[in-house]
Amino acid sequence: MRLLSGQFDSSKRRILVFSAISVVVLLAGLLALQYFSLVKLQKTSRDAQKLTRLLFLQTVAAKTSDEYLHRAQQLLTLPMPEPSAKDVNQIETHFREQYWKGAEFVFVAFFTHKKETQILIFDPAQNSFNPHFEWPVHVLEPVLAPWQLLSANGISPDRGKVRVNEVNAEHRILLVPILDKSSRVTGVTGMLADIGFFRNEFVPSIVRAYLPKYGSAQDKITLTLRSPFNQLLFSSDPTSRDDETSVPLPQVFTDWRLGLQGQGLSPEQSAGRNFVLNFSLALMMLVLLGGAVGLMLRGAMKEMKLSQMKSDFISNVSHELRTPLSSIRVFAEFLRLGWIDEPARIRETGGRIEAESQRLTQLIDNILDFSRIESGRKEYRFEKTSLDTVVQNALKIVEAPSQRANFKIDYENLTLNSPQCVIDRDAMTRALVNLIDNAVKYSRTSKNIVIKVDQNGDFATVSVIDHGIGIPLSDQQRIFEKFYRAGSSLVHDVKGTGLGLTIVKHIVDAHHGRITVDSKPGAGSTFTVFLPWNNGSVDRRPEEDRPTPSKPS
């Protein structure tokens, strides 16, 4: 049965180990997947931010040109169906109503059948046509020449579309052809663009209108306008730097460029910061998840170990109960059958029955004490008692089993007067019996045990010294845990419940004392119980305020 149980527990341990490895591999895989996903996201977000900035810049540039051309279209498109030189007054009224500051001046040119051109200049200062207005002949004549040629040849251009002539960068002219019923060119209306107005008023107004519409509140930008020679003409932020990207203005002022600058982090820096933040959060989440899984696996392993310890406890208790009961039954049967009739042998058999009964009683008392301790129902009756009395009571209890195992127990009282301590005599006797019982079990070939009563400062001490197999240092801190047994194969050859030292530790703690162990494998062990002396009063101070006992010499 124990073999099957061990195989089952081994199988469960293998499953837990496999589960732990699987979880670690899974978490590592998730972390790697998260890392590569974030690297990809970093590049994507960087490119997306660049693309977002570029698209916004192109939108603002397009809106700037479209709005400017739309205003020019309104000004240059005449309301009459077939304008001619006889409609001068209506044309003048139209220019007066539609005029805007984007034009330095507006003109209308009519092409006659004699290949002559009649040009009328609308002067914004007089708000009327001014025959004396000085206009740049060297600029207008080359611009009008192609339209005169179209008119002479009867070629029909698209109706109503604004044309832009930027051959001369200092005199940019916008034109709308005048067409008759057959779509033949009979003239043009035009305007000379006011470059200062475009640079100082029109572009800033468009930028101020569209800049708040940029999609990212965290990604703040600056828009700039630059000349063909990279001269800064306008900036939405006085602290301008070099443009990250720029686009030419479409249709009008096409040699000027609208630029964009990031006020904060660059797209690379922003993407890198987001990567670090997201990866840190992912790593923290996986660490917490791994910690939770680790605690769960640790709890499962602890439960398995506790289950195994309880199983061993039941097995050991069964053996411990069976051994004295078997001896009592055999001796009783001998007496019942009359196989022992000599008075001396009858007394000897009765003594053995009594010893086995005491052993059985001690085992049951330990189990009951442990049950009370676990449930918090253990009570102590403190009274002033001599430690010598406690030791003598313990020696009487262990006398028979120790003699049967050929053990010699020496008792040394190194105090002038036996210390008087306020203790529970029965509980302390049981603790001392458990220590002696352990010394007998684990002494092997050395059959000598020494019990010493001494004084160490404000403490009276009781030491149980054996010359047995000893306890490894790695086990010395755990031997007082319930069900715990040291890992040595020699220990597991000896049956026991694993409760003796746990009960001893609880009893000593209840007396505001402490217990120490000094042991080396193969050199025996010394268990020393320190009990407050203080002239018979129990030390009720907190443990950290009490004097620390030194090791027994």
Q: Which DSSP string do the residues of 223-282 spell out, in sequence order? A: EEEE-TT--EEEESSSS----SEEEEPSSSSTTSEEEEEESS--HHHHHHHHHHHHHHHH
Q: Is the pLDDT of residue 546 over 60?
A: no
Q: Is the pLDDT of residue 268 over 70?
A: no
- Average pLDDT rounded to a whole number, residues 440-456: 85
Identity (one letter) of the amino acid at 219?
D
Q: Is the pLDDT of residue 328 over 60?
A: yes
Please report the pLDDT score of residue 12 as a whole number: 66
CB-based burial, 293-305: b 16+ in 10 Å, e otherwise? beeebeebeeeee
Residue 458's pLDDT band, with cuts at 50, 70 and 90, is confident
Those residues with Cβ within 8 angstroms of residue 149's Cβ, 6 or more apart along the chain or in another chain = none
Give the whole-number percent of the chain exceeding pLDDT 90.
24
- DSSP-assigned letter for residue 543: G
Which one has a higher pLDDT value, 447 or 324?
447
Domains (range + CATH), the chain:
103-193 (3.30.450), 343-545 (3.30.565.10)
pLDDT digits (tens, 9 = 90+) for 394-422: 888 888 777 777 888 899 888 767 778 88
Q: Is 514 helix (H, G, I), strand (E, B) or coil?
A: strand
Cβ atoms of 356 and 327 within 8 Å: the answer is yes
pLDDT digits (tens, 9 = 90+) for 339-397: 887 888 888 778 778 777 777 777 777 777 767 766 777 788 888 888 888 998 888 88
pLDDT digits (tens, 9 = 90+) for 193-210: 999 999 999 999 999 998
Residue 59's pLDDT band, with cuts at 50, 70 and 90, is very high
d(CA 478, CA 159): 100
Q: Is 512 helix (H, G, I), strand (E, B) or coil?
A: coil
d(CA 476, CA 464): 16
pTM of the model: 0.49
Q: How many CB atoms lie within 10 A of CB 24?
A: 14
pLDDT digits (tens, 9 = 90+) for 510-545: 888 999 999 888 888 999 999 987 544 444 344 444
Residue 96's pLDDT band, with cuts at 50, 70 and 90, is very high
Cβ atoms of 162 and 72 within 8 Å: the answer is yes
Please report the pLDDT score of residue 296 as a whole number: 78
Those residues with Cβ within 8 angstroms of residue 303's Cβ, 6 or more apart along the chain or in another chain = none
